Structure 1
Amino acid sequence: MLILVTGATGKVGRHFITALLDDPRFRMARIRALCHNRLCAEAERVEVARGSIADREAVVQALEGVTHVVHLATCKELPDQVMDVTVKGLFWLLEHFRASVTARQFILIGGDAGIGHFYYRHEGPITEAAAHRAYPGCYALSKVLEEVIIEQYGIQYGVNGCCLRAPWIMEKDDFKYSLSFGDDVFGGPVWKNLVSEADAKRYAEDGTVPLLRDADGRPLKRNFVHVEDLVSAILAAIDNPRAVRQLFNISMDRPVDYGEVAVHLARTRGLRSVDIPSRFHSNWMDNSKAKYLLGWQPRYDLEKLIDSAWQYERAADDPRIVWYPG
């Protein structure tokens, strides 16, 4: 088993490679990490290939002898790059994967941006049958196109593809900083822009957290997944006959409720909260299909997500680096 991992140096890629190498089920597996801007460290079972997935020749060379692809590379709100990296890159990967005599399975990590997450109202739990609805911007559009492309390669050529659709992926102290009123905020909304400058400064200093409310005035519910749970889902999908040409929602059992976050942080850490109105909509991803077909179960619930983020202590050689906004 030779697994090509794109986006190998990113949040999910690093965790996936470590977990796979430590898993006795995959003791014979080898990793080929396709790296572009940052390099992955080579090891006994890890080799590095250089190049961009937008480069056809780089893809051809990277796929030589590969049995599995775990496609993690993506592009955020960068209009000059997103079509080359996300769309053309996936096209070249699938074009040469389908022609390869060694190819067995292609796993794509998708995103809930493709169904609009909290930008649109969903009248019930969001299942894998939900229609694609990209919100404004090129990133959400690219997530729609990814899912459509891999589905069509299954229809056109019988490619054994699987898409794991993930919401916002957390690790370490990400969730803590996703609630910061300071310049160190991770992702969006950018809370400091929603209050006065003086209030933002005060909230950042005393650790006040936002209690985001949805368009109906209720505490907003938004989906998250911890990187460890996403990685366990990838491992569960590898060579799983029940994953063939399937789409799975990979999320926490319940969405994060900003009201429950505020209550938990007030009770456990004495932190205050402040109401932030919004026009966003609460939503709830249904992960029952992945639990039923893959035998997968997320380990992180609301309390574990919060407590692990606040308890995380960074080592001197582990600076907080945000490679992209969210």
Structure 2
Amino acid sequence: MKILVTGATGKVGRAFLTAFLDDDRYASAKVVALCHNRGLDAGDRVEVVSGSLSDPQAVAHAMDGVTHVLHMAAVKESPDLVIDVAIKGMFLLLEAARQSSTLKQFVLISGDCTVGHIFKEYSAPINEVSPRKAYSGCYALTKVLEEVMIEQYQIQYGLNGTVLRAPWIMEKDDFKYALSFGEEQFGGPAWSDLIGADKAMRLARGDFVPLMRDRTGASLKRNFVHVDDLVMALMAVLDHAGAMQELFNIAMDEPVDYAQVAEYLARTRDMEAVEIPTPFHSNWLDNTKARHALGWRPQVDFEEMIERAWAYERSPSDPRKIWYPG
């Protein structure tokens, strides 16, 4: 096996490489990492190719002799990069894959931005045949286009593609800072947009937890997945016959309920809930298909995610650095 990994320096990429290289099943496997802005240390089993996804020569070099592709690289809200990197890059990878004599599987990591996250309403749990409803912005648009592109390559050329659609991915102390009212807040929504900058600043000085309400007034339910569970799903789909040309939602068994989070943090850490009305929708990303077809089970529920986030202690060599806001 020779697997090309794009986005290898991100949170999912690094976690996957650790799990993959430590797995005895892949002791003889090689990894090619196509890196552009951030570097990665090469090794006996890891080859680093420097270049952009928009560069046909770099992609061709990286794809040489590859049996599997794991495509995770993405650009966020960067309109100047979207076409060249996200769309052209995906096209170049797919073209190289369909013409390859060695390729066995192409795995794409997508996101729940393709189904609107908390910005679009669904009357039932969101499964793999629910309509795509991207929220505003170029990032969500690129993810919809990527899903459609790999789907069409499967139809047109018989490509063995697998898509894992993940919601907001948590690692280390991410969840703690996703709930923070301070300047170190990770991801959105920006509290200043909902409650004003002055109130957010006051709350940041105390032990408060946001209890967001959806547009119906019920506590907001929002989808998450821990990086460890996503990596388990990635390992599960490699060469899995049931993953051929399939799309899977990879999420926690239930969405995170902000009322339950607030109650748990009040009980375990004496934090006080702050009610925040929002225009958002509560949605449920249904993972039934992945559990049934892959035998995959998420291990981290919201309580475990809280405990891991609050227990995590960063060393000086592991500063909190957010490459993308969410």
Ranges in structure 2 where 5+ consecutive residues have no aligned partner:
none
1:200 is aligned to 200
Once the two structures are TM-superposed, the CA of residue 312 in structure 1 deviates from its matched residue by: 0.7
Where 1:5 maps in the other structure, the secondary structure is strand
Where 1:254 maps in the other structure, the secondary structure is coil
1:16 is aligned to 16
Q: 2 CA distance for matches of 1:300 and 1:293?
A: 20
Conserved 8 A contact 1:221-1:255: yes
Q: 1 CA distance for matches of 2:17 and 2:175?
A: 23
1:266 is aligned to 266
Q: 2 CA distance for matches of 1:197 and 1:287?
A: 37
Once the two structures are TM-superposed, the CA of residue 51 in structure 1 deviates from its matched residue by: 0.5
Ranges in structure 1 where 5+ consecutive residues have no aligned partner:
none
Conserved 8 A contact 1:180-1:191: no
Once the two structures are TM-superposed, the CA of residue 118 in structure 1 deviates from its matched residue by: 1.0
Once the two structures are TM-superposed, the CA of residue 181 in structure 1 deviates from its matched residue by: 1.1
Q: 1 CA distance for matches of 2:68 and 2:207?
A: 45
Deviations 1:89-122 (CA, angstroms, capped at 9, x unpaired): 0000000111011111000000000011211111
- Where do 1:181-200 residues align within 5 Å? 181-200=181-200
Deviations 1:18-57 (CA, angstroms, capped at 9, x unpaired): 0001111211111111100011111221110110111111
Q: 2 CA distance for matches of 1:293 and 1:20?
A: 21
1:56 is aligned to 56
Once the two structures are TM-superposed, the CA of residue 135 in structure 1 deviates from its matched residue by: 1.0
Q: 1 CA distance for matches of 2:38 and 2:311?
A: 29
Conserved 8 A contact 1:212-1:277: yes
Letter of the 2:65 partner, please give it.
G
Asked if 1:227 is matched to 2:227, the reply is yes
Letter of the 1:189 partner, please give it.
P
Conserved 8 A contact 2:209-2:262: yes
Conserved 8 A contact 2:166-2:250: yes
Deviations 1:195-241 (CA, angstroms, capped at 9, x unpaired): 24442222112131111110100100000000010011000000001
* Over 6 Å off, 4+ runs: none
Q: 2 CA distance for matches of 1:48 and 1:30?
A: 11
Where 1:81 maps in the other structure, the secondary structure is helix
Q: 2 CA distance for matches of 1:107 and 1:162?
A: 5
Asked if 1:174 is matched to 2:174, the reply is yes
Once the two structures are TM-superposed, the CA of residue 191 in structure 1 deviates from its matched residue by: 1.2
2:323 is aligned to 323
Q: 2 CA distance for matches of 1:280 and 1:28?
A: 47
Letter of the 2:227 partner, please give it.
V
Conserved 8 A contact 2:191-2:197: no
Once the two structures are TM-superposed, the CA of residue 63 in structure 1 deviates from its matched residue by: 0.2
Where 2:79 maps in the other structure, the secondary structure is coil
Greater displacement, 196-205 / 214-223: 196-205
Once the two structures are TM-superposed, the CA of residue 192 in structure 1 deviates from its matched residue by: 3.1
1:311 is aligned to 311
2:74 is aligned to 74
Q: 2 CA distance for matches of 1:208 and 1:82?
A: 37
Where 1:47 maps in the other structure, the secondary structure is strand
Letter of the 1:300 partner, please give it.
V
2:150 is aligned to 150
TM-score (norm 1): 0.98
Q: 2 CA distance for matches of 1:83 and 1:128?
A: 26
Q: 1 CA distance for matches of 2:200 and 2:152?
A: 47
Once the two structures are TM-superposed, the CA of residue 65 in structure 1 deviates from its matched residue by: 0.7
2:32 is aligned to 32
2:92 is aligned to 92
Conserved 8 A contact 1:5-1:72: yes
Q: 1 CA distance for matches of 2:179 and 2:248?
A: 28
